[in-house]
Chain A
Amino acid sequence: MESLPADITSPSPMVKVEQEEEEEEEEEEERGHHVTYSINIIPCDIIEDVLSRLDAESLMQCKRVSKSWLSLIRHPSFINLHLKRQQPCMALFRHSGDEYRCVLSREVIFSFHSLENFDELSTHRFPTTFKKASRSLILMGSHNGVICLSGQVHIYLFNPAIKVLRTLPPPPPPLTPFQWDDNSFSQLGFGYDSLTNDFKVVKVCGAYDTGIRCGYSNLFKRCAQVGVYSVGSNSWKTMEMPNLFTSELDSVDSSSFDVVANPSLTCSVVVHNSIHWMLRFHPSKELNHYSFGIVAFDLNTDDPTSEGTANSTLTSE
């Protein structure tokens, strides 16, 4: 298993014509002097230093140069060194087109900006166009240059630096035989398991529990379906959401209260190898009586756990 360092800081587009010319000159010079040296005289750790300065696209070429370069680039210590060298930056995406005239094209453009001065470092076109410009993509998260996007139909992983897009296979149908609504009834998370070097997408979707519907508002309750996609296997596995709230609310039947992913924080946050969602739940029928909680999903063990309720109960008159 290997993950190649994906460089979000963009490989700068080089002026290829100039380079080729330069190279030819060098070559002639070399022939003239009958030189028979090679970069191979340089010790491995210095080569590692050199290669760690390259963008992802150049590294893709370097992997094919020789066996020794390949094994060097695949080594975990190199991957870490390369990642350390990358400058964090900010990604924005927009639809190209004229917004004032409400003519949005179906193209999506990504741009990357320096965190220091917000200068644009590079722009990339998303490799797929959409039938409808509106509601086409939602950013679910990013890690090491790989961006997770949710479209109306598909979930995508996109690595702009090497211009590679992976469309995830469709998640498995719900466990229960009842009808299941589309993506709008799900909550996504995207994270990286550093123990197995694997990227994972977690999808929590509403399901039915003995006829009671756990819809949009009740995604993190028992019987909700958890789908876990891993890039390594390129497939989904599913499981049932355990009952996370029993200890919090002994007296109340936990299947009867609402659990709402906090609307202002629908994006998940990855900390310490776990995806975290913030949610709000109503343990009683009174609408103004609710608690906040955090649900964590361990990316290594694929275990959802309740991180407890951050603020116990907020009541208002």
Chain B
Amino acid sequence: MSSSSTTTTTTRLLMLKASDGVTFEVEEAVATKLGAINNMVEEEGSEDLICLPNVNGKFLGMVLEWCKKHANNNTNSDKGNDEVNKWWDKEFVMDLDQNTLYHLLMAADYLSGTELVDLLTEKVASMIRGKKVEEIRETFKIKSDFLPGQEEEIRKKNSWAFE
């Protein structure tokens, strides 16, 4: 990470190509926050163009925006960094519509962005917490596939935690 290596590697740029052909030029330090890209860089070394056929440009862009923010915040050795990151994370997930949220989550998962996956799964969990079955189904557009009576049976069994 630091300047211990030779000068050529200090701000190496990587090209990331999304499934729809959109490319992003990103600093290596930023892109390698994503486990999948880190592995590719370590394995293939000299390759500067990385193709990511499972992510489209819109969501790759958002993932990289998140990485950039976190990479920048971490290089400033401020004590309030954690707070800044938290505040920024909150803003980041606040206004996501469900469609974006799901695709972003899948993109983050595919790219092994562990911290971002944590952030987004926690966001989805917060949309479930404290809701009733019907509310959960409505929020997430899930249709019940239980036969009549089956659900009632589960409800009864639920009255004790062990079955």
| Residues in chain A within 8 A of chain B (CB atoms) | 1-4, 6, 11-14, 16, 19-20, 23, 26-27, 29-30, 35-43, 46, 49-51, 53-58, 60-70, 146, 159, 162, 164, 166, 198-199, 231-232
B76 CB-CB contact with A under 8 Å? no
Which residues of chain B are near A198, meaning CB under 8 Å?
A: 162
| Interchain nearest-CB distance for B122 vs A (Å) | 6
Determine whether the beta carbon of A46 is less than 8 Å from that of B106. Answer: yes
- What 1/0 flags go to B135-163 for Cβ under 8 Å of A? 11111111111100001001100111111
Closest 9 CB pairs of A and B: A14-B130, A38-B141, A53-B125, A39-B140, A64-B133, A50-B124, A4-B161, A37-B99, A49-B121
Bound CA–CA A29/B98 (angstroms)? 11
CB contact between A58 and one of B105, B128, B137, B141 (< 8 Å): that residue: B128
Given A50-B121, A64-B151, A65-B133, A42:B128 Cβ within 8 A? no
B88 CB-CB contact with A under 8 Å? no
Given A14-B130, A37-B141, A66-B143, A4:B163 Cβ within 8 A? yes
Determine whether the beta carbon of A23 is less than 8 Å from that of B139. Answer: yes
Given A16-B130, A64-B151, A166:B160 Cβ within 8 A? yes
A/B interface sample: 22 pairs, CB < 8 A: A2-B162, A4-B162, A6-B161, A13-B130, A19-B130, A23-B138, A26-B98, A27-B138, A35-B97, A39-B98, A41-B102, A41-B106, A53-B122, A58-B130, A61-B131, A64-B154, A65-B133, A65-B136, A65-B140, A66-B144, A67-B146, A164-B159
Bound CA–CA A60/B155 (angstroms)? 8
Nearest A residue to B108 via CB reads A46
Determine whether the beta carbon of A39 is less than 8 Å from that of B142. Answer: yes
CB contact between A29 and one of B97, B109, B121, B163 (< 8 Å): that residue: B97
* 19 extra A-B contacts, CB within 8 A, seeds A11-B130, A164-B159: A2-B163, A11-B129, A13-B130, A27-B138, A30-B98, A37-B98, A38-B142, A39-B124, A39-B140, A42-B102, A43-B106, A46-B109, A49-B117, A56-B161, A62-B133, A63-B154, A64-B155, A66-B137, A162-B161
Determine whether the beta carbon of A19 is less than 8 Å from that of B131. Answer: yes
B79 CB-CB contact with A under 8 Å? no
Bound CA–CA A53/B130 (angstroms)? 12
Determine whether the beta carbon of A54 is less than 8 Å from that of B125. Answer: yes
Determine whether the beta carbon of A65 is less than 8 Å from that of B137. Answer: yes
| Interchain nearest-CB distance for A121 vs B (Å) | 15
Which residues of chain A are near B138, meaning CB under 8 Å?
A: 23, 27
Determine whether the beta carbon of B142 is less than 8 Å from that of A3. Answer: no
Bound CA–CA A7/B124 (angstroms)? 19
Nearest B residue to A45 via CB reads B109
Which residues of chain A are near B137, meaning CB under 8 Å?
A: 65-66
Which residues of chain B are near A57, meaning CB under 8 Å?
A: 130
Bound CA–CA A118/B151 (angstroms)? 39
Which residues of chain B are near A19, meaning CB under 8 Å?
A: 130-131
Which residues of chain A are near B98, meaning CB under 8 Å?
A: 26, 30, 35, 37, 39
| Interchain nearest-CB distance for A265 vs B (Å) | 28
Bound CA–CA A68/B136 (angstroms)? 14
Determine whether the beta carbon of B131 is less than 8 Å from that of A42. Answer: no
Determine whether the beta carbon of A66 is less than 8 Å from that of B142. Answer: yes
Determine whether the beta carbon of A26 is less than 8 Å from that of B139. Answer: yes
Bound CA–CA A6/B138 (angstroms)? 26
| Interchain nearest-CB distance for B65 vs A (Å) | 21
Given A50-B128, A53-B121, A164:B145 Cβ within 8 A? no
Determine whether the beta carbon of B146 is less than 8 Å from that of A66. Answer: yes
Determine whether the beta carbon of A38 is less than 8 Å from that of B163. Answer: no
Which residues of chain B are near A162, meaning CB under 8 Å?
A: 158, 161
Determine whether the beta carbon of B141 is less than 8 Å from that of A39. Answer: yes
Which residues of chain A are near B128, meaning CB under 8 Å?
A: 50-51, 54, 58, 61-62
Given A46-B109, A159-B161, A38:B155 Cβ within 8 A? no
Within 8 A of A (CB), among B84-126: 97-99, 102, 105-106, 109, 117, 121-122, 124-125
Which residues of chain A are near B155, meaning CB under 8 Å?
A: 64
Determine whether the beta carbon of A55 is less than 8 Å from that of B161. Answer: no
Which residues of chain A are near B158, meaning CB under 8 Å?
A: 60, 63-64, 162
Determine whether the beta carbon of B99 is less than 8 Å from that of A146. Answer: no
Determine whether the beta carbon of A51 is less than 8 Å from that of B133. Answer: no
CB contact between B102 and one of A11, A14, A39 (< 8 Å): that residue: A39
Which residues of chain A are near B146, meaning CB under 8 Å?
A: 64, 66-67
| Interchain nearest-CB distance for A161 vs B (Å) | 9
